[in-house]
Amino acid sequence: MAANERVPAERRRRRPTGSGVVLSADLIVDTACQLIDAQGAQAFTVRKLGAALGADPSAVYRYFRNTEELFLALADRLIGESMAGFTRSGDWAADLRDLCLRAYRSALRHPQIAVFSTVRVTGRPHEQRAVDTGIGLLLEAGFDEATAVRHYHTLVDTALGHAALDAGFLRLSPGQRTADDQAWRSAYATLPADAYPNIHRVRDQLPLMAGSAVEGALDLLIEALRASR
């Protein structure tokens, strides 16, 4: 039987490896997360995962049909991390902001995984809970069903889009990151006023460009949502 045709029940069986470690889906996801955090998604292989687990690589396929399914589980793990400890304050707008920033920060804790996690739909329990929570907040705020879905889509894609952008920045070398940050303080801040009057006028504020714009973007959107009710 092919790996992608194994029955789901087989994947739930906890089996010890040759080194005595009891495999589980959670352990595999944890170990894959550590490997990708350390080495990057492009360097990840099931062979390396098996070695880190002390198991034959084929054992992974008793729990995940293929690497695609494993990567979706990893993406869902990040969403689960973002939802851990989330509680409603009673202010729907503040709660939406918190929910989106949690997703952003979870992705930034794992920038190598954010390469693929920010652009996938996992269809798994953590994502389902996050979607249900976000849309629920908008429904409670008084938006109709279609508008609630559109607004949630806009908010979460804004947060994840910034996460993908900022994760890309974190994957640069330290020297590249420093050079990019310094460019706002040197190359831009010293441009002549006659050629670049607007840049010259705001030159003292240009270092702000070195930070993430995620909070500002979310604040603008949520302010617009408050005003549209």
50 and 150 part of one domain: no
221 and 116 part of one domain: yes
In whole angstroms, what is the distance from residue 12 CA to residue 163 CA?
33
47 and 91 part of one domain: no
In whole angstroms, what is the distance from residue 150 CA to residue 46 CA?
38
Tell me whether residue 195 is in a domain. yes
Check which CATH number belongs to the domain holding 208 and give it: 1.10.357.10
Other beta carbons less than 10 A from residue 180's beta carbon: 13
For 159-198, the pLDDT digits (tens) are 999 999 999 999 999 999 999 999 999 999 999 999 999 9
Average pLDDT, the chain: 92
Predicted structure pTM score? 0.86
Tell me whether residue 115 is in a domain. yes
92 and 126 part of one domain: yes
Tell me whether residue 201 is in a domain. yes
Mean pLDDT throughout 148-167?
A: 97
Q: Give residues with Cβ within 8 angstroms of 226, minimum separation 6.
A: 93
Residue 229: pLDDT band (50, 70, 90) is confident
Mean pLDDT throughout 109-119?
A: 93
91 and 158 part of one domain: yes
Residue 17: pLDDT band (50, 70, 90) is low
Mean pLDDT throughout 132-142?
A: 98
Tell me whether residue 127 is in a domain. yes
152 and 220 part of one domain: yes
Tell me whether residue 177 is in a domain. yes
51 and 92 part of one domain: no
Domain hosting 30: range is 3-65
Q: What is the helix (H) or strand (E) element at residue 95, kind and residue range?
A: helix 92-109
> How many domains, in total, are found in the chain?
2
Mean pLDDT throughout 143-166?
A: 97
